[in-house]
Amino acid sequence: MNNAGITGGNGLTWELDPSVWRRVIDVNLVGCFLVSRAVIPHLLANGYGRIVNVASIAGKEGNPTASHYSASKAGVIGLTKSLGKELATKNVLVNCVTPAAANTEIFAQMKPEHIEYMRSRIPMGRFVEIDEIASLICWLASEDCSFSTGAVFDISGGRATY
């Protein structure tokens, strides 16, 4: 599972420091690529594997004052789709989840008004629980998941728009 992620704080896109932008892309997207690159040869040698990437609903919709985070998670979605197609006949399935916000340590990197904005966008009116995300990831990583690859699984409390 590729689950690394930082927000890089919040700010208007044109006011973000390029070094902050690059750091978010490096951790959230390049890190996912590097882990995949390292593990896929082993999965291919074993003739079986499951990769689950953790993106974000922000990667599908974009969040104001979080363009760097949103862009990085959109990249994870694209990477998932590409890898899923590349590995489709190899018994190595690659999928991703796009959770809405969960109340984790990552909130410490965000402004309170951004946290409230995210909660207000969720029709169920609450943040997703970690165990809810974990249950979905466990299925995607299991043998029961046998015909989904390159897919994006929303766990957004109704926020997803596509």
Domain boundaries, given as residue ranges, for the chain: 13-155
Where does the chain have alpha helices with state H? 18-25, 31-46, 58-61, 67-86, 112-120, 130-140
What angle in degrees, to the nearest 10, is found between the helix axes of 67-86 and 18-25? Answer: 30
Report the C-alpha gap between 124 and 120 in whole angstroms.
Answer: 9
**The dihedral sign for the CA sequence 53, 54, 57, 60:** negative
Q: What is the DSSP letter of 84?
A: H
Q: Give 113's pLDDT tier (boundaries 50, 70, 90).
A: confident
Report the C-alpha gap between 82 and 40 in whole angstroms.
Answer: 13
Catalytic residue among 48, 69, 117, 162: 69
Q: What is the pLDDT of residue 60?
A: 95
How distant, in Å, are the alpha carbons of 19, 71, 80, 150 from that of 13?
13, 11, 25, 29
Give the lowest-confidence range in 64-78, 102-116, 122-136.
Answer: 102-116
Q: What is the pLDDT of residue 72?
A: 98
Q: What are the tens digits of pLDDT across the range 26-58?
A: 999 999 999 999 999 999 999 999 999 999 999
Question: Among this protein's residues, is 69 annotated catalytic?
Answer: yes
Q: What CATH class does 13-155 carry?
A: alpha beta
Residues 6 or more apart in contact with residue 141 via CB below 8 angstroms:
1, 50, 52
Report the C-alpha gap between 3 and 39 in whole angstroms.
Answer: 14
